[in-house]
Structure 1
Amino acid sequence: MSCVKAQRWSPPPDGILKINTDGSFRKTSHTGGWGFTIRNTEGNLIAAGAGNLEYVSDALHAEAQAMLHAAIIASQMGCQSVMFETDSALLKQAVTTDDYNLSSLASMFREIKFHLRVGFNDVKVVFCPRACNGAAHSLAAHGVTMEVGHYETWLGQFPEFVKDVVAGDVSSMLS
């Protein structure tokens, strides 16, 4: 079942972990948040994270921070075969091509590419509609509300609000 058809999260192929990332940007204050989930083919949550951002230039910057944090955590966890999903077509293009090598965020894109290249044996970055990225979106919104510069990563044991946003995605895939 594809995400577009279900309008919710869809499972990755067997043997692949799906990492959904999202960033949130507040233009008036140049702040934001990031969030990510890591799930297996059954939809079981392996890890999640959320954090606050300050000094954010734009929405793409927040999206890139989300992917960078997720890539670092997933690599440290020893994940090997992964699929990153982002609802930012620009971010997907920036980390899978050389099109943004001269942009103001080029150094961040290079850092993400580096972590993707050395941190995983098999990695794919794909675009997904926002409707298919609900849990990561909710975690990014949570990151906005956190204290400046703070973040949380959950492994194995998850707060109820994290379980709830993930359960909303997975339950729709079962219907």
Structure 2
Amino acid sequence: MRQAAQKIENLAVLSSQQTTNPTTTTQTLQWNAPPANVYKVNWDSAVDKVNCKVGVGTIIRDWEGRVIACMRMCKPLFPNPYLAEAFGALHSAKLAIDIGLKQIKLEGDAMNVINDIKGNKASWKQTGLIINDIKQVLRGFDSFSIDFTPRSCNNLAHCLARNALNITDVLVDIEDIPSCIASLL
């Protein structure tokens, strides 16, 4: 039920963000660069229910669109999509801290996770504790924002997350582009 509500929310946001020209042709949404000196951290997660594991994909780009870092992480985790997305957001923010970034724009396509990170509601459930951890990590930046982006603008992170399901731990590429997304750039 939660996934259906998430898809409806995503569709509503996507519909409100698409524009049409007078000939009724819909423009394709695409990745937009962050402001100067801000790094955009796009993340996504993939779930393998059969093997009870989660893949996380993260791509960090600068204001000129240059790839600064990519991460693919596969961990055994209960295959819950919300939990997977929260786990992905946490580790993506940690990656940005670890490589020394000070100003970030964190983007993902999980509206419910983004709303919970932005919200003030405390939860002692497993996912609530992860959301609290994300908020704590984000306080380590000089400035940050967190925003929803439709899947069409988050495709590279999605491909990295799917590919992460095929590895055994964590792969981080600094200023290098993994072959699984090279043709998409």
TM-score (normalised: structure 2): 0.80
> Of the two, which has the highest radius of gyration?
2
Q: Take 1:108 and 1:16, find their aligned partners in 2: how far apart are those partners?
A: 25
Q: Paired residue for 2:151? A: 130
TM-score (normalised: structure 1): 0.84
Q: Take 1:117 and 1:126, find their aligned partners in 2: how far apart are those partners?
A: 16
AA partner of residue 101 (structure 1) = S
Q: Paired residue for 1:50? A: 72
Q: Which has the higher contact order (CA 8 A, sep 6+)?
A: 1
Long gaps (5+) in structure 1? 168-175
Aligned alpha-carbon RMSD (Å): 1.7
Query: Would the alpha carbon gap of residues 65 and 158 (structure 1) be closer, same or farther in structure 2, given more than 3 Å must change?
Result: same
- Residue 8, structure 1, aligned to residue 30, structure 2: yes
Deviating beyond 6 angstroms after TM superposition, the runs of 4 or more aligned structure 1 residues are: none
**Cα drift, residue 57 of structure 1:** 4.2
Query: Would the alpha carbon gap of residues 79 and 99 (structure 1) be closer, same or farther in structure 2, given more than 3 Å must change?
Result: same
- Residue 80, structure 1, aligned to residue 99, structure 2: no
Q: Take 1:133 and 1:7, find their aligned partners in 2: how far apart are those partners?
A: 10
AA partner of residue 124 (structure 1) = S
Identical residues among aligned pairs (%): 25
- Residue 38, structure 1, aligned to residue 60, structure 2: yes
- Residue 164, structure 1, aligned to residue 154, structure 2: no
- List aligned pairs for 1:58-137, cutoff 5 A: 58-99=80-121, 101-118=123-140, 120-137=141-158
Q: Secondary structure at 1:20's aligned position in 2?
A: strand
Q: Is the 8 A contact 2:159 2:180 kept in 1?
A: no
Q: Is the 8 A contact 1:30 1:58 kept in 2?
A: no
**Cα drift, residue 124 of structure 1:** 0.3
Count of aligned positions: 161
AA partner of residue 156 (structure 1) = E
- Residue 24, structure 1, aligned to residue 46, structure 2: yes
Q: Take 1:41 and 1:69, find their aligned partners in 2: how far apart are those partners?
A: 21
**Cα drift, residue 60 of structure 1:** 1.2
**Cα drift, residue 101 of structure 1:** 2.1
Q: Take 1:100 and 1:21, find their aligned partners in 2: how far apart are those partners?
A: 23
